[in-house]
Amino acid sequence: MGSLNGDFRGYEAIKWLAAKLGLRVPDLLALAPKNDPFYAGAPAQQAKAVWFAELWTRFDYATAHLRRLHYRMVTPGQGEPTPRKHDSMPYENTEGCWDYLNDASKYARYLRLVSPDAIVDHRNPEPHIYMQPEELFREQGVWLEELEEWSLPAIEHALASLINLSLPGIEEVTGYDYHATDQPYHCELWIEKSTMDDVLMPICEELHVNLVTSVGFQSITGVLKLLRRVCGLARICKDGKPARVFYISDFDPAGDGMPVAVARQIEFWIRDYAPDADIKLQPLALTRAQVVVYELPRIPIKDTDARKGRFEERYGEGAVELDALEALYPGELARLVREAIEPYRDRTLEERLVEAEEEAREQAKEAWEARMAPYREELEAIRAASGEIAARYDGQLEELNETLQAELAPLRQRMNVVRQAVQEARDQFAMELPERPAPETDLIDEDEWLFSSDRTYLTQLARYKRRKHGEAEDAA
């Protein structure tokens, strides 16, 4: 922990960094201390985490939804003790105890006392997957046709029709098929609600962008699924594939914090689940600039929302729902999505792959024809000679068959020698094909993106702080 570019995950690590830099702990966190995964491990959190891990082990769950565990707690079986929290206070069927269980499970996963995958998320819908890793056959190669059987004429049929000395040709070349995963970037669109599905699903399907909806804040489970999807692409795509996440939320205190909360979870778990991944996240809508440009109507923020004062100090009075943008400017949200995704797509790739396959096929055909040229001349001589011999026996097919076959025997021997040589040439044929075109995009300026997996802890933290102080709002 001696380097300022190290991995500062955990209560002790953050405390050390604060002492090293002469800063307060909150200055080194992107979220509130109780919510920031990088600060997990404070004594109270540790106690809750241990309590939850022991509970999880006692009930012998492999995976489960927290709600199931909650009701198992509040309805103990006969002879079971009254359930209690880590501080010996009773655990009851109340909203406060439910929140306590959520916090305890979160800390247990952050501290690795329970598998991060153990908790099943039933609150948020399953994502709409339009960009799915697939095991595609991408090895370039030339596939030759099978070498057909050769024959010389026999007396049983019209002799000339039985002459067959054809050579195999190029059947196909492989490795140039197009799939959406060939695109240079893996893109996902995350949104805090499902009321925009009718607008976003068609365009995400068209652009092969995964659509991840939620009910409010995203869960740890959702982030882990994202990291697995990115790892899945890394297994089938050479050198992996960069992932870009665009976040859509209401312009309100909760929506303002959601992109940072998700980015912080990605930052926390990426070393465990996708250590080599290139992931960036950026809010797409609604931004303050969009609210101003589109003159969207604001609604009052509840006085009970503790974040109201800080939000309105930065952005002015009132909040704006995403639905207002679609109601007043139908199709505008889809346009913003398309405009954001377009730089990450290579529109020419599919066509260039078709052209590359045709070029490879032509080159393979020329190479094979050149390889067969010496045998073709000999086969034509055999064909002509056998045809002349066969023609002399057309009227005496049955009687002269033995004589015909005897006379063809030397040609058959020559034919078999040529056939063996052709078969060996076919089995050994190899050539260097044109390179498979790589996806291309113009250089994209991503310096101002909210999250980037290649930043150090302190550099990324500074970017969060800029957003918190209203210094990094994007233009509409």
Among 2, 243, 230, 14, residue whose Cα is nearest residue 110: 14
Q: Are 49 and 107 in contact (CB under 8 A)?
A: yes
Cα 376 to chain centroid, rounded: 50
- Asked if the 185-345 domain carries CATH number 3.40.50, the reply is yes
Residues 6 or more apart from 40 whose CB is under 8 A from it? 9, 10, 11, 49, 107, 110, 111
Among 339, 335, 337, 348, residue whose Cα is nearest residue 184: 348
Predicted local confidence at residue 134, as pLDDT: 65
Cα angle value 270/273/278 (rounded, 5°): 50
Q: How many residues does the chain have?
A: 476
Banded pLDDT at 337 (limits 50, 70, 90): very high
Query: Secondary structure of the chain: what % helix, strand, coil (to 5)?
Result: 50, 10, 40
Over residues 297-309, mean pLDDT:
91
Over residues 7-26, mean pLDDT:
90
pTM for the full model? 0.76
Residues 255-293: pLDDT tens digits? 999 999 999 999 999 999 998 899 999 999 999 999 999
Among 269, 193, 261, 351, residue whose Cα is nearest residue 9: 269
Cα 105 to chain centroid, rounded: 28
Q: What percent of the chain has pLDDT over 90?
A: 49
Over residues 201-223, mean pLDDT:
88
Would you state the structure tokens that stand for residue 464, as one six-digit string? 């969060």
Residues 65-114: pLDDT tens digits? 888 888 888 887 777 777 889 898 998 999 999 999 999 999 999 999 99
Q: Are 191 and 249 in contact (CB under 8 A)?
A: yes
The domain spans of the chain are: 11-110, 141-178+351-428, 185-345
Residue type, 49: A
Residues 349-406: pLDDT tens digits? 999 999 999 999 999 999 999 999 999 989 999 988 988 887 776 666 666 677 777 8
Q: Are 406 and 163 in contact (CB under 8 A)?
A: no
Q: What percent of the chain has pLDDT over 70?
A: 92
Cα angle value 333/334/337 (rounded, 5°): 90
